[in-house]
Amino acid sequence: MESIRQLLQIVPRFGDLPQAFQVFLALLISCAVILAVALVCVLYLVWMERKVSAHMQDRLGPMYVGGWHGWAQTIADALKLLLKEDIIPAQADKILYRIAPVLVFVAAFAAMVVLPFGERSIVTDLNIGVLYVVAITSLSVVGIIMAGWASNNKYALYGGMRGAAQIVSYEIPSAVAIMTVVIMVGSLSMQDIVRAQLGGIHRWFLFRNPFTFFAFFVYFICSLAEVNRTPFDIPEAESELVAGYHTEYSGMRFAFFYLAEYVNMIVVAGVAATLFLGGWSQALPVSWVPNQLIPGPVMFTFKVLLLIFVQMWLRWALPRLRVDQLMYVCWKVMLPFALVLLLGSGFLAVYWK
């Protein structure tokens, strides 16, 4: 944001505007940039998901639209969704039904504001960035349960209830796993966390000590559950509930849910990359290669894409969990492990420094 504000000084008489308005304009522009980036990313993540799933099943996936390996398939799909009829069930709660997809998307998108794409490319480096992410991503529960309730459909309601139970439960172990890193760094700011990991791959929290190593896996598994990805996709289990909470949605409103799912994937992969894989920091020690050999945003994008690929990979490796198994994994496995890891990294932070 600050860099955009500096950039805006080029515009004649921009400096004459009131201070608050300058900040507002800079925020608006940086949010627009993030939104555009997110939308384009989602288009290609959907394409990537289809390609990865196809090849894992010995298929080819989209091959025709656009020429090269169907690269324009999702653009065509998005245009189709835009043009589709917007159906609202007669017995639905009209207001909630309209608000729900927007709320889910806003909750997903708002978390991107604090993702550190690079040393200077971050919309706003909140001093409580991690806390903000944890708080804002759980807002999507409200949207999901709203969609399930407003659709006036039993499958949608089941999906909404399951989603609420699942996301609220998995918030806890994932937040505890995040805290292991926060304890080591001593700051909640995303940029501070990345700066604590500068200096090569051995400084990343994934490889720094055993507690954060396991905390990465706890966080990754819990983040899968938080964004309703397989093997934890019981809120939209297509073989049990038709499509879960978005059963009744069509056209652009459905696209919003779809968009939110992929933006959520970017967000949790981005948080995992920031906390455990060093964010935009370089993989090799600074003494070995010239500094900033690969630009920070490229490094960050690469790490995020890698984690998203693992998310897609797990989708075709694991079957869906049952509801009771899901709760078992959360409360009886993830939470005790996360607490032990928190304790361990607390000890390290106090006595090893």
Partner 1 sequence: MSEYFRDIGRTVVTTYYSMWVAFKHLFTRSVTLQYPTVKMQMPERTRARLFNKIEDCIGCGQCARVCPTDCIDIQTEKRGKDEPEIFASDGTAIKLRTHVFDIDMTLCCYCGLCTFPCPTHCLIMTPSYEYSVYDKRDHVYHFAVDKPRTVKPSKEAAPTKA
Q: How far is the CB of 304 from partner 1 (least distance, A)?
A: 20
| Residue 317 interacts with partner 1 (CB under 8 A): yes or no | yes
From residue 128, how far is each of 7, 125, 133, 168, 318 by CA, in Å? 26, 8, 9, 21, 35
| Residue 340 interacts with partner 1 (CB under 8 A): yes or no | no
| Residue 318 interacts with partner 1 (CB under 8 A): yes or no | yes
Terminal CA-CA length for the chain: 34
The encoded tokens of residue 208 equal 């720094």
The encoded tokens of residue 121 equal 């490319």
| Residue 347 interacts with partner 1 (CB under 8 A): yes or no | no
Q: How far is the CB of 311 from partner 1 (least distance, A)?
A: 12
Q: Which of 86, 92, 85 is nearest to 147 (CA)?
A: 92
CB-based contact 143:101 (threshold 8 Å): yes
Residue with Cβ nearer partner 1 (96 or 305): 305
| Residue 222 interacts with partner 1 (CB under 8 A): yes or no | no
CB-based contact 86:250 (threshold 8 Å): yes
Q: Which stretch binds partner 1 (CB under 8 A): 14-22, 23-31, 89-97, 310-318?
A: 310-318
| Residue 333 interacts with partner 1 (CB under 8 A): yes or no | yes
Residue with Cβ nearer partner 1 (28 or 60): 60
Q: How far is the CB of 51 from partner 1 (least distance, A)?
A: 10
CB-based contact 49:77 (threshold 8 Å): no
Size of the site for partner 1 (CB under 8 A): 16
Q: Which residues contact 244 (CB under 8 A, 6 or more apart)?
A: 148, 155, 156, 158, 159, 160, 162, 163, 235, 236, 237, 238
Q: Which stretch binds partner 1 (CB under 8 A): 178-186, 196-204, 271-279, 309-317?
A: 309-317
Residue with Cβ nearer partner 1 (313 or 347): 313
Residue with Cβ nearer partner 1 (92 or 222): 222
- Using CA atoms, how far apart are residues 269 and 206, in angstroms rounded to an integer? 14
- At residue 164, φ and ψ (nearest 5 deg) are -60, -50
Residue with Cβ nearer partner 1 (259 or 321): 321
Query: For partner 1, which residue of 9, 316, 322, 343 counts as binding (CB under 8 A)?
Result: 316
For residues 62-81, which are near partner 1 according to CB under 8 A? 63
| Residue 339 interacts with partner 1 (CB under 8 A): yes or no | no
For residues 40-59, which are near partner 1 according to CB under 8 A? 52, 54-59
Give me the residue label for tokens 């652009």.
252
| Residue 306 interacts with partner 1 (CB under 8 A): yes or no | no
CB-based contact 207:118 (threshold 8 Å): no
| Residue 313 interacts with partner 1 (CB under 8 A): yes or no | yes
- Using CA atoms, how far apart are residues 258 and 261, in angstroms rounded to an integer? 5
Catalog residues that contact partner 1 under the rule CB under 8 A: 52, 54-60, 63, 313-314, 316-318, 332-333
